[in-house]
Structure 1
């Protein structure tokens, strides 16, 4: 259950503002955000190392390139459906695809979209001369390729873009309030966005995740109302918000990419408590930060 917020050209200082959470099983093998090895050293993204994902372990949920190509993916919530192809390849292939426009890439994707489990995909070219090349596509609910607009505040989770969950509507309003505070310093803007991504309050006053921890199906339903998902047991695995990412691109193309983890493994905790959740402990740090310019 990931959640994404973004806007393009809504701020006097920034061309692109993005904030997103990755919700995932904490034992799923993952590589943190990094610049990929040659021949794809222009790509900055984490990678999914799960054996059942892409054979080369280079699928990803979001990423950006040194020349301003950006892509992010959320899964569509449905009864378990495993497509023939890994959805992590959707973002990867756009980031690799060189001169393809966002809409052109999605037109090609649309031809074989039924081979994937349900997804929502956003693709953009953020370089100065491509600021209108932005699009959204989902292979569920009959959604067609949809151009995205400058100046709009967008939010997306595990439904389609035009049918947002409650936490998306709530978070989008909070995101808009932050974006409208143009007096904030860069550091204040970044921390305000991370504060948004750490919002655990239920938008409808429902029981806490701990109250419903013994029923994974109910927990997943309640998670639809929370921007930040506290840890809970789903079967024998621990699920929750693993990482948060903030990306800023100013009007000169200067890019700041920050990824922060929320938990680290604590094997001692698991041994002492015999509790799967105790195998992970919260971590508070400044994560990984990358600086580069997409217009050069």
Structure 2
């Protein structure tokens, strides 16, 4: 009913899993809306968004998952300056149908662009000053730009199920990073930066189903690491310093048939593992 959009107190609207083929034009009247969920409509037939959506200047959460928005340029997004959460999972995003800039979205903290057709990280993501959670899993991304060092507040980064063969050393500058997911890529030992131990807040590192034969010793210098998942690789051993991860709760090294765990060093040698010998 059209009148629902004239309700002054309408702040949350969930229209997901319906039969919408187009977005209600009356939506622009819901001036105080904070949360809008339009995901999974009409068996994937919601293909566009009305220009008037740019008038939802108070909107904080927009969820569009599972709609075939291939030809939608999403030009409305830069005007929605209150956005904090933007979920575009499985919406046929490519390099050409995302806005070139989103730097006006200074509150945007949570972005989901998983299950799309991206071959690289969209440029518009590098200039989001409040970005904390970014999901780019299940795309076709082959490399990361050095610009990722701009993600100074990012805490969760999901790059699983892409085509990455290496990570740039710039990733070691993400000092707030707590969760790094790299499952099902093409990473080998040379593809992991030796300075990864600089991620002192890292709690979860998941790199299952890659081509790792070894992991950098510095990974074992992440003092808060609780979850280390390396199953389905080609590991032959792990650094001896693995024994000094005092916070570790999960160590998954299944399906590494040639793996030989290192012996636990004598206690008197422990002090050496806190020394950084890198230049």
- TM-score of the two chains, using structure 1 as the length reference: 0.26
- TM-score of the two chains, using structure 2 as the length reference: 0.27
Choose between structure 1 and 2 for higher RCO, CA contacts under 8 A separated by at least 6 residues: 1
- Identify, as 1 or 2, the structure richer in strand: 1
- Identify, as 1 or 2, the structure richer in helix: 1
